[in-house]
Amino acid sequence: MRLQSRLLLGVASLGASLFALRSDASEASDLLGRVREEWAKRGIVSQKLASRFLLDDEALLFRMPDRGMAPCGSLVAIGPRTMSFALQDALDNAEEARVASVGGVAAIGTCDAKRLARVRVTASAGRGAIEFVFTAGPTAAPPVSTWVPERTGTVVFLPQDPGSPPALPLLAERVASAERRARVRGGVQKQGQLTELSAIGGVDWNVVLEPGCHRFDVLGEARAGSSTRHELDAELREPEDGRSLVRDRTDSADARLEHCVGEETQATVAVSGSANAKVNILHHVWILPPHLPEHWGAPLRARIATLLHARSLSLGRGRIAAAVRGISGRTHFAQPVRRGSCYVAIVASEGEPGRGLGLRAQVGGVDFADERGVLEQAAAVTFCAGRQRLATFEVESRGSGSAWMLMLIEAVEGAWSFER
């Protein structure tokens, strides 16, 4: 019984192999027929030659037909797509005279007085039947790839050498630039740290993060006019369990960490790089706006702060016009607005975030939408009421068991002198 099962399995495998070889041969024959048909439309006379079957690493000599008085002669070979072979003049053993197949297609020819009497066909990988066609005429045959684009292969672009990295500005210049960027965005500078990495290239700095968004710029020292630089990596961790809050492990010389918290949090800034390298750690903070009460919870406050920081939104002295809670799915509701006022609508996940959060507001037939949100945990839209007195909202919370909070803040009042 076991011997019979093995025989049946062997017969099935042999049948599958023969079917695959027959399919490859049929495809090659069809492609060859297409090439000859296109040649005939252009007045090119071709002659189909006998097909040959080659195994791995097998070679054969192929006798070329006489081209008569025609100055040019070409031989085209089409085999299975997965087969690699090469054509070469049997009397020319130079490597540059070898024509390798691309996608199972190769062509060789000549237009000089030298007659191409024999062609060596060598299979380097794969096996199968190869179809041949010969043509002779006053000019060389057009490229076969014109009519069999599915066998043209792909173009491989070699990576270009980007050259040496540009010279870094002095540390003082980069410190001033980082401070200027933070100041323009409204950041408040905190006490930084000027330190030196240990002999094994690392240092930890324990900090207390007050509620808000924090940015740490980790800058390495560079010599004037030198391209040599310290590639620094940085990570913000929880000091108790070492859980990573955010990290920067790019190939740039400096590192930057940004993280928002909804309550006072202990954290550790871990920096790694070259041994004994001098680094300057800048610390800037964007304080939470007063519109986010503490009873909303630290995770919700942190997500809203992350969105405001990422979108560079400032709530100014605006007031909370409405606060709405909801659950997963699509939720529609309407909210009165004051004519001539502008608003910021913010929605963020409560508790465990879902798979995405989207927000859409419609005012007077005009849609304002944020379909993607920030980190799929919060979304925001801004709009002005104009002459309208009512705005409609749609919150889409993707995922089961998730909840959200929407906050509508009246940011600007009296932008237009409409009667109320």
Q: Which residue, of 121, 151, 181, is where some domain finishes?
A: 151
Of the ranges 115-119, 133-137, 154-158, 342-346, the best mean pLDDT one = 342-346
Q: Let me know: does 398 contact 328? Beta carbons within 8 Å.
A: yes
Q: Find the mean pLDDT for residues 68-81.
A: 84
CA–CA–CA angle 81, 62, 93 (5° rounding): 90
Q: How far apart are CA 179 and CA 270, in angstroms?
A: 21
The confidence band for 399, taking pLDDT boundaries of 50, 70 and 90, is: confident
Specify the pLDDT at position 114.
64
- The maximal CA–CA distance of the chain, rounded, in angstroms, is 98
Both 214 and 279 in one domain: the answer is: yes
Q: Which residue, of 119, 151, 183, is where some domain finishes?
A: 151
Alpha-carbon distance values, 8 to 13, 16, 91 (Å) = 9, 12, 48
Identify which has the larger pLDDT, 194 or 408.
Answer: 408
Q: Let me know: does 234 contact 202? Beta carbons within 8 Å.
A: no
Q: Which of 257, 378, 246, 376 is nearest to 307 (CA)?
A: 378
Q: Find the mean pLDDT for residues 349-371.
A: 86
> Is residue 292 one of the residues assigned to a domain?
no
Number of Cα atoms under 13 Å in the Cβ half of residue 103 = 13
Both 48 and 109 in one domain: the answer is: yes
Q: Find the mean pLDDT for residues 359-379.
A: 85
Q: H or E stretch including 11?
A: helix 2-41
358 pLDDT more than 80: yes
> Is residue 53 one of the residues assigned to a domain?
yes
Both 116 and 81 in one domain: the answer is: yes
Cβ-based burial of 218 (10 A; exposed 0-12, middle 13-18, buried ≥19): buried
Both 201 and 312 in one domain: the answer is: no
Q: Let me know: does 276 contact 229? Beta carbons within 8 Å.
A: no
Residue 181 neighbours by CB under 8 Å, 6+ apart:
none
Strand runs (DSSP E) across 262-401, as ranges?
265-272, 278-287, 319-327, 329-336, 342-350, 356-363, 366-370, 378-384, 390-398
User: What percentage of the chain reaches a pLDDT higher than 70?
Assistant: 85
> Is residue 138 one of the residues assigned to a domain?
yes
**66-71 long-range CB contacts below 8 Å, 24 or more apart?**
67/115, 67/136, 68/136, 70/136, 70/137, 70/138, 71/111, 71/138
Look at the pTM and tell me if it is higher than 0.85: no
Both 147 and 197 in one domain: the answer is: no
> Is residue 160 one of the residues assigned to a domain?
no
352 pLDDT more than 90: no
The confidence band for 144, taking pLDDT boundaries of 50, 70 and 90, is: confident
The confidence band for 217, taking pLDDT boundaries of 50, 70 and 90, is: very high
Both 147 and 189 in one domain: the answer is: no
Identify which has the larger pLDDT, 198 or 321.
Answer: 321
> Is residue 163 one of the residues assigned to a domain?
no
Number of domains in the chain: 3
Specify the pLDDT at position 263.
92
DSSP assignment, residue 4?
H
> Is residue 33 one of the residues assigned to a domain?
yes
Residue 26 neighbours by CB under 8 Å, 6+ apart:
none
Q: Which of 234, 245, 258 is nearest to 185 (CA)?
A: 258
> Is residue 48 one of the residues assigned to a domain?
yes
DSSP letters of 235-250?
A: EEE-TTT--EEEEE--
The confidence band for 49, taking pLDDT boundaries of 50, 70 and 90, is: confident
Residue 136 tokens read as 């002779």
The confidence band for 157, taking pLDDT boundaries of 50, 70 and 90, is: low
Of the ranges 137-151, 223-237, 300-314, the best mean pLDDT one = 300-314
418 pLDDT more than 90: no
The confidence band for 8, taking pLDDT boundaries of 50, 70 and 90, is: very low
The confidence band for 234, taking pLDDT boundaries of 50, 70 and 90, is: very high
Both 176 and 61 in one domain: the answer is: no
Both 145 and 10 in one domain: the answer is: yes
Specify the pLDDT at position 390.
95
Q: Which residue, of 252, 287, 322, is where some domain finishes?
A: 287
Q: How far apart are CA 37 and CA 147, in angstroms?
A: 10
Both 336 and 361 in one domain: the answer is: yes
> Is residue 213 one of the residues assigned to a domain?
yes
31 pLDDT more than 70: yes
Both 379 and 344 in one domain: the answer is: yes
Q: What is the CATH number of the domain that holds 32?
A: 2.60.120.380
Specify the pLDDT at position 333.
94
123 pLDDT more than 80: yes
Q: How far apart are CA 112 and CA 186, in angstroms?
A: 77
Both 271 and 210 in one domain: the answer is: yes
Specify the pLDDT at position 54.
86
Note down the domain range covering 176. 171-287
Q: How far apart are CA 399 and CA 390, in angstroms?
A: 29
Tokens 């927000």 sit on residue? 359
Q: How far apart are CA 167 and CA 144, in angstroms?
A: 50
Both 88 and 191 in one domain: the answer is: no
Residue 173 neighbours by CB under 8 Å, 6+ apart:
none
